[in-house]
């Protein structure tokens, strides 16, 4: 979340940048500034009262030691209300801090100056397009029909076991999944990321730390009896590994990667555009996370974008990179690039990765800090990206590489699959 000091000192800029998100922040920002002023006034009153109470206690002690009991009792009588006043001020301060916090978490991150203004996906900016879109014959099949033809994914069996959005991968389909996971993890390791295997259940504090709570609880699966959440992405547990931590400046950049299943309720998602692997409740993903020095985060964002693109190039998938507009950007992000692959059979783009810089928005919640050269404690910056989400990658591989013989497996995956064709 944003720091209230920054909001107070940069009111007009905060309002201006949030307008890029189509977020009218004037009233909320002014309420936050007023609450912060009241909080600071209460702190001053509390500190002043504590000083007076301490001074009175010292005076009483001195009078008692001097044998002036009557005068000591008089001072004690005059200062008798301090304790009650201190309790009232403490209660008022707790209440005002809670109200301030509850309003502060409603404020999204400030968009970077390069973020275009817009209302939705149609307003996103195409940064680049790479590769040639394959020309398929008229009888080419979408991936869900190819999956049935070659018996590699069973959507109906998954519905039987769990419900729609939970496919069962079979035979070469399962091998392809495992191949992509291992390939993505191996590439991440070569790029300097340390592999971790985090929990796939998180507590409320972890969800709050990375910004899923209280914003996205409706999209998360909640295990009520234990008050835990199934993760929507490995970003959450991996970034939370550093919650409440002061790292050394020399530790930067901290680079982590993880494979996990991911779970999203995707409430309200219906229609042909979510058919097959296009949108699932459970899916596999390899994530990359970096915790970096604030001065380096935007250079790192470009490096992470280039890295994700290298995976798509290795798979020989045509793709494009989008800079998301303010209206289509995530609540916690300052700048996001989306990578989309071309689905030749569906004749449309499919999002397969988002790479985002959160600046200090997450680290302020997580309390991930470092000490600079002067010894002052500062907030680090966090970034993350999908590298990659498997379902739509698999959909594009199946559709784009289909032929009369079968489906050609990308060359880089063959050492992992042990076969060149799905047939």
From the annotation, which residues make up the binding site for L-serine?
233, 264, 287, 384
Residues placed in the known binding site: 233, 264-266, 287, 351-354, 384
3-state secondary structure of 223: strand
Report yes or no: 171 and 201 within 8 Å, Cβ to Cβ. Answer: no
Report yes or no: 408 and 420 within 8 Å, Cβ to Cβ. Answer: yes
Widest distance between CA atoms in the chain:
108
DSSP character for 178?
H
Report yes or no: 294 and 323 within 8 Å, Cβ to Cβ. Answer: no
**Tokens describing residue 294:** 């604030």
Angle between helices 172-190 and 297-314 (to 10 degrees): 140
DSSP character for 295?
G
Report yes or no: 23 and 330 within 8 Å, Cβ to Cβ. Answer: no
DSSP for 368-392? EEEE-TTS-EEE-EEEEEEEEEHHH
Report yes or no: 24 and 107 within 8 Å, Cβ to Cβ. Answer: no
DSSP character for 218?
G
Rg (CA), the chain: 28
Task: Give helix then strand counts, H and E, for the chain.
Answer: 14, 18
Residues placed in the known binding site for ATP: 264-266, 351-354
Residues for the chain: how many in total? 423
Residues 361 and 402: their CA atoms lie apart, in Å, by: 44
Residues 382 and 402: their CA atoms lie apart, in Å, by: 39
**Tokens describing residue 59:** 């005076």
Distances (CA, A) of 343 to 319, 328, 393: 9, 22, 9
Residues 334 and 378: their CA atoms lie apart, in Å, by: 18
Instruction: Write the burial class of residue 372 (CB in 10 Å: 0-12 exposed, 13-18 middle, 19+ buried).
Output: exposed
Give every CB contact of residue 78 below 8 A, 6+ residues apart in sequence: 56
């Amino acid at each position: 979340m944003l720091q209230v000091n920054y909001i107070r000192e940069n009111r007009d800029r905060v309002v201006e940048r949030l307008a890029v998100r189509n977020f009218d922040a004037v009233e909320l920002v002014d309420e936050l500034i007023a609450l912060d002023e009241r909080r600071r006034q209460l702190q001053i009153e509390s500190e002043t009262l504590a000083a007076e109470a301490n001074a009175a206690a010292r005076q009483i002690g001195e009078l008692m030691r001097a044998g002036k009991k009557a005068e000591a009792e008089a001072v004690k009588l005059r200062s008798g209300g301090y304790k009650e006043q201190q309790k009232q001020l403490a209660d008022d301060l707790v209440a005002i801090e809670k109200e301030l916090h509850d309003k502060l978490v409603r404020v999204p991150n400030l968009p970077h100056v390069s973020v275009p203004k817009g209302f939705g996906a149609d307003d996103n900016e195409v940064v680049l397009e790479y590769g040639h879109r394959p020309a398929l014959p008229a009888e080419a099949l979408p991936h869900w029909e190819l999956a049935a033809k070659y018996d590699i994914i069973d959507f109906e069996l998954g519905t039987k076991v769990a419900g729609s959005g939970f496919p069962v991968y079979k035979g070469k389909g399962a091998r392809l999944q495992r191949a992509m996971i291992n390939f993505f993890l191996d590439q991440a390791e070569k790029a300097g990321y340390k592999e971790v295997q985090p929990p796939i259940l998180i507590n409320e504090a972890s969800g709050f730390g990375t910004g899923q709570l209280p914003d996205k609880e409706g999209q998360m699966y909640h295990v009520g009896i234990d008050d835990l959440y199934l993760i929507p992405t490995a970003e959450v547990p991996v970034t939370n590994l550093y919650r409440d931590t002061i790292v050394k400046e020399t530790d930067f950049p901290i680079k982590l990667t993880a494979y996990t299943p991911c779970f999203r309720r995707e409430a309200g998602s219906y229609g042909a555009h979510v058919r097959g692997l296009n949108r699932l409740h459970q899916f596999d993903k390899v994530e990359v996370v970096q915790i970096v020095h604030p001065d380096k985060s935007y250079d790192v964002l470009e490096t992470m974008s280039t890295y994700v693109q290298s995976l798509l190039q290795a798979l020989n998938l045509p793709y494009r990179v989008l800079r998301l507009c303010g209206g289509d950007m995530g609540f916690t992000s300052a700048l996001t690039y989306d990578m989309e692959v071309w689905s030749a059979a569906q004749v449309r783009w499919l999002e397969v990765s988002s790479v985002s810089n959160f600046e200090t928005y997450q680290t302020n919640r997580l309390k991930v800090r470092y000490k600079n050269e002067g010894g002052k404690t500062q907030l680090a910056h966090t970034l993350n990206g999908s590298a990659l989400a498997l379902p739509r990658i698999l959909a594009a591989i199946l559709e784009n590489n289909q032929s009369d013989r079968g489906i050609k497996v990308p060359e880089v995956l063959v050492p992992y699959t042990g076969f060149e064709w799905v047939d």
